[in-house]
């Protein structure tokens, strides 16, 4: 479990605000791993070992594991157990339902004794409002990372609807700020919309923002930092595919490390520019 202060400390120490997404696709992982009893966990384990000094968070995407049924869930549980304790562990699950059901999802990902999983944070969808979000916050010290602005084409459908003077995604942030402070609530903000960060920082000056969309989804790290960084950094920038599939040969873990190192070095420059380190 990582508190806000511990997270900031990790960022300064590692000179990085990189989150490594763990989205293992059995059709893309190196062939030789298929000889192992749990190829997906084996893949993740080696990616983690190769990158853990360069990143401050890991984010398995629940869908990838669920798509392999029971075996996939077993891989996810094994991965959850293996994640280094000094990194924020995020389950990217985009859950959200009425109160008692969200409470069940919270147990699924936060209650180690029951399910074997003990993530620090979960991504949550806002559509169903307060009672879909607060059950996750009832688990002491756990983080909610609420969808605000996403980076894919569908973000235009509803997130940019004008609701009075605001866009819907701004309304989501304003309202969710009344449910929890920056010590428990983060927001997902897609990196293809760099200029929107200025806007978001008006409403969420202190919150950490989880930024997908660097690399395969096409965002620019420099732009994100220019508009989105705050005095504590306030950014967790994710890269999944670019790191996971840097190579599909036996050298995949070294290739992943090289890619992560490349991103970390750019991040170090940004942290220095901002006077954070």
Footprint on residues 203-222 left by a copy of itself (CB under 8 A)? none
Neighbours of 37 (CB within 10 A): 8
Footprint on residues 61-120 left by a copy of itself (CB under 8 A)? 61, 63-64, 66-70, 72-74, 77, 92, 94-99, 101-102, 104-105, 107-108, 111, 114-117
The yes or no reply on residue 125 touching a copy of itself (CB under 8 A) is yes
Pure H helices in 31-150: 39-51, 62-66, 69-82, 99-110, 112-115, 130-137
| Residues in a beta bridge with 146 | 124, 187
Q: What tokens does 256 get?
A: 């992943």
What whole-number distance in Å separates Cα of residue 257 and Cα of residue 51?
5
DSSP letter at 195 equals T
Pure H helices in 112-240: 112-115, 130-137, 155-158, 168-176, 196-203, 221-228
Give the shortest CB-51-to-a copy of itself separation in angstroms: 21
Smaller CB distance to a copy of itself: residue 66 or 251? 66
The yes or no reply on residue 248 touching a copy of itself (CB under 8 A) is no
Give the shortest CB-23-to-a copy of itself separation in angstroms: 8
Stretch that binds a copy of itself, among 5-13, 43-51, 130-138, 245-253 (CB under 8 A): 130-138
Neighbours of 127 (CB within 10 A): 10
Smaller CB distance to a copy of itself: residue 35 or 153? 153
Smaller CB distance to a copy of itself: residue 66 or 222? 66
94 belongs to the catalytic site: yes
Binding mask 35-64 for a copy of itself (x = CB under 8 A): --------------------------x-xx
CB 59 within 8 A of CB 83: no
Smaller CB distance to a copy of itself: residue 65 or 143? 65
Size of the site for a copy of itself (CB under 8 A): 58
Give the shortest CB-110-to-a copy of itself separation in angstroms: 10
What whole-number distance in Å separates Cα of residue 18 and Cα of residue 8?
12
Of 78, 128, 269, 274, the residue at the interface with a copy of itself (CB under 8 A) is 128
Please provide the size of the chain in residues: 277
Contacts 24+ apart (CB under 8 A), 2-11: 2/86, 2/87, 2/88, 2/120, 3/141, 3/183, 4/182, 4/183, 4/208, 4/232, 7/56, 7/88, 7/208, 8/232, 8/233, 10/56, 10/86, 10/87, 10/88, 11/56, 11/232, 11/233, 11/271, 11/276
Smaller CB distance to a copy of itself: residue 213 or 270? 213
Of 131, 183, 206, 254, the residue at the interface with a copy of itself (CB under 8 A) is 131
Footprint on residues 137-176 left by a copy of itself (CB under 8 A)? 147, 150-159, 161-164, 168, 171-172, 175
Binding site for a copy of itself (CB under 8 A): 61, 63-64, 66-70, 72-74, 77, 92, 94-99, 101-102, 104-105, 107-108, 111, 114-117, 125-133, 147, 150-159, 161-164, 168, 171-172, 175
Catalytic residue list: 94
């Amino acid at each position: 479990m990582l508190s806000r202060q511990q997270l900031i400390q990790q960022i300064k120490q590692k000179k990085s605000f990189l989150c490594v997404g763990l989205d293992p696709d059995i059709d893309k992982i190196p062939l030789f791993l298929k000889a192992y009893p749990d190829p997906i966990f084996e893949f993740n384990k080696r990616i983690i070992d190769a990158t853990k000094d360069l990143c401050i968070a890991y984010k398995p995407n629940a869908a990838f594991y669920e798509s392999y049924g029971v075996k996939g869930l077993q891989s996810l549980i094994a991965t959850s157990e293996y994640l280094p304790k000094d990194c924020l562990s995020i389950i990217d699950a985009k859950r959200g339902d009425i109160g008692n059901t969200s409470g069940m999802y919270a147990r699924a990902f936060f209650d180690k004794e029951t399910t074997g999983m003990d993530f620090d944070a979960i991504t949550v969808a806002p559509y169903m409002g307060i009672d879909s979000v607060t059950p996750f916050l009832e688990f002491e010290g756990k983080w909610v990372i609420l969808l605000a602005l996403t980076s894919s084409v569908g973000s235009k459908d509803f997130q940019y609807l004008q609701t009075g003077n605001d866009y819907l995604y701004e309304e989501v942030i304003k309202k969710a700020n009344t449910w929890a402070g920056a010590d428990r609530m983060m927001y997902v903000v897609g990196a293809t919309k760099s200029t929107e960060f200025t806007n978001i920082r008006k409403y969420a000056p202190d919150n950490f923002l989880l930024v997908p969309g660097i690399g395969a989804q096409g965002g620019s790290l420099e732009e994100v930092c220019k508009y989105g960084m705050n005095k504590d950094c306030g950014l967790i920038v994710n890269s999944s595919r670019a790191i996971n599939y840097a190579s599909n040969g036996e050298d995949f873990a070294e290739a992943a490390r090289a890619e992560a190192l490349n991103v970390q070095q750019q991040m170090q420059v940004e942290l220095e520019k901002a006077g954070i380190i």
